[in-house]
Amino acid sequence: KRRGMTLPLLVGGATTSAKHTAVRIAPAYDSPVVHVLDASRSVGVVEKLLNKETRAAFVASNVAAQAELAASFQARNQKLASYKSACEHKFQTDWKNVQIDMPSFIGTRVLDDVSLSDVRDYIDWSPYFMTWELKGKYPKIFKDPVVGEVAQEVYEKANQMLDHVITHKLIQAKAVYGFWPAAADGDDVIVYSDEARNSERTRFHFLRQQWERQGQKDYRCLADYIAPTGSGREDYIGGFVVTAGIGAETLANQFKKELDDESAIIVQAIADRCAEALAEFLHEQARRDWGFGVKEGLSKDELIDEKYRGIRPAAGYPACPDHTEKTTLFELLDATKNTGVELTTSFAMMPGASVSGLYFGHPDSRYFTVDRITKQQTEAYAKRKGWPLTEVERWLAPNLAYDPDA
Give pLDDT tens digits for 324-381: 999 999 999 999 999 999 999 999 999 999 999 999 999 999 999 999 999 999 999 9
- pLDDT-derived band at 301, boundaries 50, 70, 90: confident
Measured distance CA(85)–CA(211) in Å, rounded: 11
Task: Give the model's pLDDT for residue 73.
Answer: 79
This prediction's pTM: 0.86
State the pairing for strand pair 107-114/33-36.
unpaired
Q: Give residue 14's pLDDT.
A: 67
Measuring CA to CA, which residue among 116, 128, 92 is closest to residue 169? 116
CA 265 to chain centre: 21
CB atoms within 10 A of CB 12: 19
- Give pLDDT, residue 344: 96
Nearest alpha carbon to residue 193 among 185, 184, 181: 181
Give me the percent of the chain exceeding a pLDDT of 70. Answer: 98
pLDDT tens column, 42-98:
888 999 999 999 999 999 999 999 999 988 877 766 789 999 999 999 999 999 999
Query: Residue 398 — pLDDT band, cuts 50, 70, 90?
Result: confident
CA distance 184 to 378: 19
- pLDDT of 40 higher than 90: no
pLDDT band at 38 (very low <50, low <70, confident <90, very high): confident
Q: What is 291-353 written as a DSSP string? A: STTTT----HHHHHTT-SS-B---TTBTTB--GGGHHHHHHHHTHHHHH--EE-TT--EESSS
pLDDT above 90 covers a percentage of the chain that reads 84
What pLDDT score does 379 carry?
98
